[in-house]
Chain A
Amino acid sequence: MELAIETTGLTKRYGSLTAVDKLDLKVERNTIHGFLGPNGAGKTTTIKILVGLLKPDGGKVTVLGQDLGWDKPEVRLRVGYMPELPKLPKHLKGTELLDIYGRMCGMTKEERKKQIPELLDVVGLRERENDLVGKYSKGMQQRLGMAQALLNEPELVILDEPSIGLDPVGMVEVRETMKGISREGVTVFLSSHLLHEVQQVCTHVTILNKGVALASGTLKEISAKISGPVTIEAEVEKISEAVVKKVKELPFVTAASADGKKLLVELDTRDDVRSEVSQAITAGGGIVVSMNLKGESLEDVFMGLLAKRKEGRS
């Protein structure tokens, strides 16, 4: 397994506060890896260490197979980084900013001439390319932040809360961009507090709380770590004993019970079996009005992990 990011025992303290506590993080290449955690979990601190803005107090960091060290531009040459709510120099025009950053990345004039208009098209800023960044809206600055992160065709893109400040259309575009660059073989490391965003685009997830990794792996692997069954809650017309019996006969159902029009089904699988359950209800004479899968979403997993951690401490 080739790794884009690997940290071992990574520690960062601010005075008496330990922001990152012996973090072991593995991000596989060619994945979209979500980095989840509540505010103050240590996500941005970890990311700033990865891009050389902060110096760790302990542990080892490897990025794209190279020891990170301190102030090593050769590592950053292969990494694109979009900070949370990027603060870009307001005295430069959009296209000037990308041109100067491109030169800092060592791009030739031809490369810049070809790539900058393309990137501005991708982020929808082509018409405003000659405006000063100071005149851009927050959303536009966010888009420009994304463009500068992709400028040097990096092998690893680190995005810190890329959807903040964007309208719904912008959010969708950012997600599509992430999927697009991932298809081209770029590893994406995405810090986000938007669980549904992570669920929609990420293949892998690390959940961080108070500087400690609570879980890491594929979405399914993490879900499997959570105790407690996945359940289906269905609203059923003409609910009867026959309906409950038919559902109980399904091999992956551990329990089923009716409460008025509600049918509660406990499962021992994390696969999406809603169509099978629906067929069983129909076979028993019931009519499915609605059906929800619970305990499978990243939000459930996330909340479950945080709850487990709290229980462990109390």
Chain B
Amino acid sequence: MKMSASHTSWTTKFLAVVTYEILWNIRKKKFLGMFIVAFAFATLSLAGSYIASAITGQPVQQNPDFVISSNVGLGGFVFFLFAMVTVMNTISAEFESGTIVPLLAKPVSRTTVFFGKLFASFLTLLATYFFLLIYMAIGGFVAYGPQNNLHLVPLSLLGAVFSTLIWISIVLLLGALSKSSLMAALGALGIWLGTTIIGSILGALLGLGWFLTYIPGPGTSGYVGEPPPLGMGTVVSTGTDSIGPNLINYILHPSWEVTYYKLNLGGMTPGQVLWERLYSEPFSALILKSVAVAITYFVVFVGISWFVFRRAQITE
């Protein structure tokens, strides 16, 4: 009657953990709520020009680059929120609810459990963003006419997933260290606020924007061309949140040169310079740095989380 261990393959166990986690993810009320919020953001992004048109009375222009420049219709804060609702419970809630006890007592290694859960989060995000992207592509076609470069849209999808994975690794790390969903959420929110708002202000005013390139989030902004009001340069963000659009732009404009400026508050008065030029770099260097930063943070944070999870003793 005893079962043989011969057919207990690693893949079977890994996929069992993935199923366990995906079912948990998609049945979470807050995830469903987030899904609806993301669709609302995407819809707002689609309707933006029409709303502006209603206010200003200007007709809506056809925009063949709408889809390719939309970043799945999402921004950094939505990436952060998706990361939070997807993984804030992945490790910590298992400890809090006690479900970790029967799970880790099963004949599955902790490494399999950990990476199964992480892979499930990746798949959940991929599927969610895929739906959003299809929605944006169809919506963009309907709202702004035929779209250019649709073959580059998968890069936007991968970029969005990758950007979210950085935040996932942060939330996962905080959850594994604190074993508390609340601490994971608050800690991640603190980091997001720090990098996004405080970091941006300090970076722009003190001319220290370069350091934002090396931390997760929106990064700093540079211009291809001159910043307004001097010119109509294109704004480029260096951070991990913009990997998708940056990759697409690099394919479309490989020779771009990005210039960074410091905001000079004294420039508000006549005769002073509003933007003080700091330095320039090729667009390829910007992308290389943001991808390297993203990979480094992801590997380090996930590595620490895995190490902590493997050694965790279940006292609950």
Residues of A within 8 A of B (CB): 14, 48, 51-55, 71, 73-78, 81, 83, 86-92, 96, 100-101, 103-108, 111, 145, 148, 152-153, 155, 184
Closest to A87 in B: B98
Tell me which of B194-202, B258-266, B307-315 binds A: B307-315
Which 3 pairs, one residue from A and one from B, show the smallest C-beta to C-beta distance? A106-B8, A87-B98, A103-B16
Q: Mark B1-33, 1 if CB is under 8 A from A, else 0.
A: 111010111001101110110011001100000
Number of interface residues, chain B, beta carbon within 8 A: 37
Which B residues are in CB contact (< 8 Å) with A100?
Answer: 16, 19-20
Q: Mark B104-117, 1 if CB is under 8 A from A, else 0.
A: 11111111100000
Could you tell me the distance between the alpha carbons of A215 and B221 in the complex, rounded to whole angstroms?
73
Is there a chain A Cβ closer than 8 Å to B97's Cβ? Answer: yes
Could you tell me the distance between the alpha carbons of A101 and B16 in the complex, rounded to whole angstroms?
8
Contact between A76 and B106, CB atoms less than 8 A apart:
yes
Which of the listed residues A88, A100, A104 has the most CB atoms from chain B within 10 Å of its own CB?
A104
Is there a chain A Cβ closer than 8 Å to B60's Cβ? Answer: no
Is there a chain A Cβ closer than 8 Å to B101's Cβ? Answer: yes
17 contacts between A and B (CB under 8 A): A53-B104, A53-B105, A54-B313, A71-B109, A71-B110, A74-B5, A81-B105, A87-B98, A103-B15, A104-B17, A105-B106, A106-B8, A106-B12, A106-B13, A106-B107, A145-B102, A148-B102
Contact between B110 and A106, CB atoms less than 8 A apart:
no
Which A residues are in CB contact (< 8 Å) with B310?
Answer: 71
> Which B109-135 residues have C-beta < 8 A from chain A?
109-112
User: Residue A89 contacts which of B13, B99, B107 (CB distance < 8 angstroms)?
Assistant: B99
Which B residues are in CB contact (< 8 Å) with A101?
Answer: 16, 102, 106
Contact between B102 and A87, CB atoms less than 8 A apart:
yes
User: Residue A48 contacts which of B28, B98, B109, B314 (CB distance < 8 angstroms)?
Assistant: B314
With contact pairs A55-B313, A71-B110, A153-B2 given, residues A86 and B13 touching in the complex (Cβ less than 8 Å): no
User: Residue A73 contacts which of B16, B98, B108 (CB distance < 8 angstroms)?
Assistant: B108
Could you tell me the distance between the alpha carbons of A14 and B2 in the complex, rounded to whole angstroms?
37
Which A residues are in CB contact (< 8 Å) with B314?
Answer: 48, 53-54
Could you tell me the distance between the alpha carbons of A152 and B112 in the complex, rounded to whole angstroms?
19
Could you tell me the distance between the alpha carbons of A81 and B19 in the complex, rounded to whole angstroms?
22
Which A residues are in CB contact (< 8 Å) with B103?
Answer: 89
With contact pairs A14-B315, A106-B12, A106-B13 given, residues A92 and B20 touching in the complex (Cβ less than 8 Å): yes
Contact between B108 and A91, CB atoms less than 8 A apart:
no
Residues of B within 8 A of A (CB): 1-3, 5, 7-9, 12-13, 15-17, 19-20, 23-24, 27-28, 97-99, 101-112, 310, 313-315
Which A residues are in CB contact (< 8 Å) with B111?
Answer: 71
Could you tell me the distance between the alpha carbons of A104 and B5 in the complex, rounded to whole angstroms?
12
Contact between A73 and B23, CB atoms less than 8 A apart:
no
User: Residue A106 contacts which of B2, B9, B99 (CB distance < 8 angstroms)?
Assistant: B9
Could you tell me the distance between the alpha carbons of A54 and B8 in the complex, rounded to whole angstroms?
24
Closest to A19 in B: B315
Which B residues are in CB contact (< 8 Å) with A54?
Answer: 313-315
Which A residues are in CB contact (< 8 Å) with B109?
Answer: 71, 73
Shortest A1–chain B CB gap in Å is 21
Shortest A182–chain B CB gap in Å is 14
Contact between B107 and A184, CB atoms less than 8 A apart:
no
With contact pairs A54-B315, A100-B16, A104-B13 given, residues A73 and B24 touching in the complex (Cβ less than 8 Å): no
Which B residues are in CB contact (< 8 Å) with A75?
Answer: 107
Could you tell me the distance between the alpha carbons of A106 and B17 in the complex, rounded to whole angstroms?
12
Contact between A91 and B23, CB atoms less than 8 A apart:
yes
User: Residue A104 contacts which of B1, B2, B108 (CB distance < 8 angstroms)?
Assistant: B108
Which A residues are in CB contact (< 8 Å) with B98?
Answer: 83, 87
Could you tell me the distance between the alpha carbons of A90 and B89 in the complex, rounded to whole angstroms?
13
